[in-house]
Structure 1
Amino acid sequence: MSTINNAPIVLTGDRPTGPLHLGHYAGSLQQRLRLQDEGYRCFVMIADMQAYTDNADNTAKIRNAIPQVVSDYLAIGLDPSRTTIFLQSAVPELAELTMLYMNFITVSRLERNPTIRDELKMREFERDIPSGFLCYPVSQAADITAFKATCVPVGDDQLPMIELAQEVARKINRAGGREILPTPKSLLSKVTRLPGIDGKAKASKSLGNAIFLSDSQKEVKDKVMAMYTDPNHIRVSDPGQVEGNVVFSYLDAFENDQEKVEDLKRRYRGGGLGDVTIKKELISSLERVMMPIRDQRAANDVDYKDIIRQGSKVAREAAVQTLAEVKDALGVFSI
């Protein structure tokens, strides 16, 4: 497992609650590949401890999803010799940093976090909020700062999490009297949020409205043909609305020929272009993305546990060093 001295450091990851989908690919995975190829030192975390915050009664779901997530990483081209893939729970120093950081962040500050508010509403927790769920932005701050990450690829819905990590870094540096932790910056992709195939605001594993990276050619075709378009576009001759039309959102994200997409939009708005036609165009676009991923997945013959074990060893070495520096700066008693 190689490391790159003096290279910019990236931390990103995913909760293992199921296979990854095209929203992950457009929002973060493509960025990770680019950063890996440009020589950044990349840490990619399988955030199992954060997944427990709202899945504590279904640990099998998380356990079974971990190999799926690693398989998706390798299929899209992440290389364990250049990207450190590790398991959050295998780096206990992250939990200790979280405990330290929680003393610098108030409950009201966590409750004001827009991402947390949206997630609480979606899960209908009301006031029965698992404490781990409320505090997981602090855990994310620990994950980011433990590796002294300077940039974090995220979708726009995660920007409040990065803001809190920045706040934590500043508070720890101020309390320690010197700069221990760099202030991380967000790295937004071109597609910050991909809608669900049903027209809902966001493609999601939990909502079952996503195209998964592991989907077969038939599954992709069936999902595209069921996509939400313009409910008022009843006849081919009717003018259609592009805004809010999921097919065009996906064409914007995945079709390389954007001039063709703009032409399709013009014709759709003017009437005379049917939903089936634009869906067939999208199926072709997605196959150009998905086919290499399927081929790579079929070619992979690896020990997933060994990849995680080796990556977690590298990640823990970095986290141990950061924890020691933070504790020393804060004057934590040591023996």
Structure 2
Amino acid sequence: MRPTGKLHLGHYHGVLKNWVQLQHEYDCFFFVADWHALTTEYENTAIIANNVWEMVIDWLAAGVNPGSAKIFIQSRVPEHAELHLLLGMMAPLGWLERVPTYKDQQERLKEKDLATYGFLGYPLLQSADILIYKAGLVPVGEDQVAHVELTREVARRFNHLYGREPGFEDKAAAAVKKMGKKNAKLYDELRKKFQEKGDDEALQTARALLEAQQNITLSDKERLFGYLEGGGRIILPEPQPLLTQASKMPGLDGQKMSKSYGNTIALREDPAEVEKKLRTMPTDPARVRRTDPGDPDKCPVWQLHQVYSTDDVKAWVQEGCRSAGIGCLECKQPVIDQVIREQAPMRERAEEFVNNPNLVRKVVNEGTEQAREVARKTLEEVRQSMGLEYR
């Protein structure tokens, strides 16, 4: 996530709730993309450092747990930059120019000079961010799927160029034997079915067979993945997008919650300020007087009820609004109560880190070391495959 400062409830419902769940299901890497922030904010870097720490506190407040996931800052892991440089040597320029967001962003942010090398290359830096950890899944919204697809193409091209190690076929055949007679025979049969008949089911079965192998090294396993598909050794596995639902969190004016619209509620905003913002929200313009009936479908408050309220409360709102049985302030109160209730544990968790900044830095330092350990291994393998290991 780019460090844009304090997060709001749109970030929580669109991203952070998902991260909190994923950290218990996968080995997760969550990092502050401070280098990515430079692609559009290179003229205004004074705000980045403070934004980084505020955002990390918001992550921790939302329930992202450093004991379950690795939390770090992108620029503290220089391996990202080295892999980006190496990938840049073999990534065709046309691949970057055709990324959908490249021209879209330039059009949308006309006030900024984005005709820079960094802005053109940021999707490739994203690819390095993903590939340095050999990520299997990348949680993204639909608008980011094209970036994951570019990463897959980059990995495919890299493996094609550098995966053909000397004696690859002999090493692969030797690795098959290490699987044991029964598994080796099954692997050979599945490989033949896929390569001769294009049997996708055989391919999936063979991949599952390899994943389950405990008696072969990681290098041999990656070698056999490449051998299976008729290629070389897979050095950088191709990631898959893990689609996340678009945030349905509306802002105070009924539009999508966004800082650019000025319609947000911060993740850990003061309860009095939250109440003030919600009480002054616009409602159905047809309800001029308390006795005028209204239409919830034309009221921004109803959108918040759809996020926060039970079926019983929603039925009460529909009936009370349309019959003028309840006023707008009465209608808003259940939403006010639920938002403040949702934020309470976040404010409580955040307090410990706000009062002790060294604790936040400790979390980041530990996460950075864990991330670098993984990144170094990948980079060592990448250098070796490109002939850049000088021994």
| 1:125-274 correspondence to structure 2 within 5 Å | 125=111, 128-175=114-161, 176=163, 177-192=232-247, 194-200=249-255, 202-227=256-281, 229-231=283-285, 234=288, 237-240=292-295, 242=297, 246-255=300-309, 257=310, 259-260=311-312, 262-263=314-315, 266-267=318-319, 270=322, 272=324
How far apart are the structure 1 equivalents of 2:21 and 2:48?
28
Match of 1:292 among 323, 345, 356: 345
Whether the 8 Å contact between 1:191 and 1:253 is mirrored in structure 2 is: no
Cα deviations across residues 33-57 of structure 1 (Å, max 9, x unaligned)?
Answer: 112234x211110111111111122
Q: Which residue in 2 is equivalent to 1:9? A: none
Letter in 1 for 2:46: A
Question: In the alignment, does 2:91 pair up with 1:37?
Answer: no
Question: In the alignment, does 2:2 pair up with 1:23?
Answer: no
Q: Which residue in 1 is equivalent to 2:45? A: 59
Letter in 2 for 1:308: V
Which 10-residue stretch deviates more, 139-148 or 149-158? 149-158
Whether the 8 Å contact between 1:48 and 1:89 is mirrored in structure 2 is: yes
Whether the 8 Å contact between 1:156 and 1:193 is mirrored in structure 2 is: no
Whether the 8 Å contact between 1:155 and 1:193 is mirrored in structure 2 is: no
- DSSP-derived class of the 2:139 partner: strand
Question: In the alignment, does 2:364 pair up with 1:308?
Answer: yes
> If each structure's helix is expressed as a fraction of its own residues, which one has the higher value?
2
Whether the 8 Å contact between 1:252 and 1:261 is mirrored in structure 2 is: no
Cα 1:252–1:171 change in 2 (3 A) is farther
**Where does the alignment leave 5 or more consecutive residues of structure 1 unmatched?**
1-13
- Alignment TM-score, normalising by the size of structure 1: 0.81
Deviation at 1:19, TM superposition (A): 0.9
How far apart are the structure 2 equivalents of 1:186 and 1:233?
45
Deviation at 1:233, TM superposition (A): 5.4
Letter in 1 for 2:264: A
When the two structures are aligned, how many residues end up with a matched partner? 316
Match of 1:281 among 334, 338, 343: 334
Whether the 8 Å contact between 2:9 and 2:267 is mirrored in structure 1 is: yes
Which 10-residue stretch deviates more, 118-127 or 132-141? 118-127
How far apart are the structure 1 equivalents of 2:382 and 2:73?
22
Cα deviations across residues 79-100 of structure 1 (Å, max 9, x unaligned)?
Answer: 2222111110011110122223
How far apart are the structure 1 equivalents of 2:254 and 2:128?
34
| Cα RMSD for the two superposed structures | 2.9
How far apart are the structure 2 equivalents of 1:294 and 1:249?
24
Deviation at 1:215, TM superposition (A): 0.8
Letter in 2 for 1:219: E
- DSSP-derived class of the 2:388 partner: coil
- DSSP-derived class of the 2:145 partner: helix
Letter in 2 for 1:153: P
- Equivalent pairs: percent with the same residue? 38
Cα 1:209–1:238 change in 2 (3 A) is same
How far apart are the structure 2 equivalents of 1:296 and 1:55?
30
Whether the 8 Å contact between 2:306 and 2:314 is mirrored in structure 1 is: no
Whether the 8 Å contact between 1:240 and 1:268 is mirrored in structure 2 is: no
How far apart are the structure 1 equivalents of 2:289 and 2:135?
52
Deviation at 1:269, TM superposition (A): 8.1
Cα deviations across residues 57-84 of structure 1 (Å, max 9, x unaligned)?
Answer: 2222001112111211221222222211
Letter in 1 for 2:84: T
Whether the 8 Å contact between 1:156 and 1:192 is mirrored in structure 2 is: no
How far apart are the structure 2 equivalents of 1:99 and 1:218?
49
Q: Which residue in 2 is equivalent to 1:4? A: none
Whether the 8 Å contact between 1:98 and 1:138 is mirrored in structure 2 is: yes
Q: Which residue in 1 is equivalent to 2:193? A: none
Match of 1:99 among 79, 85, 89: 85
- DSSP-derived class of the 1:20 partner: coil
How far apart are the structure 2 equivalents of 1:241 and 1:117?
39
Cα deviations across residues 270-302 of structure 1 (Å, max 9, x unaligned)?
Answer: 463654344323212212210111111224445
Which 10-residue stretch deviates more, 229-238 or 70-79? 229-238
Whether the 8 Å contact between 2:296 and 2:322 is mirrored in structure 1 is: no
Which 10-residue stretch deviates more, 232-241 or 306-315? 232-241
Q: Which residue in 2 is equivalent to 1:5? A: none
Letter in 2 for 1:33: V
- Alignment TM-score, normalising by the size of structure 2: 0.71
Cα 1:333–1:37 change in 2 (3 A) is closer
Whether the 8 Å contact between 1:28 and 1:155 is mirrored in structure 2 is: no
Letter in 2 for 1:210: T
Q: Which has the larger radius of gyration?
A: 2
Cα 1:173–1:288 change in 2 (3 A) is farther
Match of 1:120 among 73, 98, 106: 106
Whether the 8 Å contact between 2:96 and 2:121 is mirrored in structure 1 is: yes
Q: Which residue in 2 is equivalent to 1:6? A: none
Which 10-residue stretch deviates more, 142-151 or 153-162? 153-162
Cα 1:233–1:134 change in 2 (3 A) is farther
**Where does the alignment leave 5 or more consecutive residues of structure 2 unmatched?**
164-231
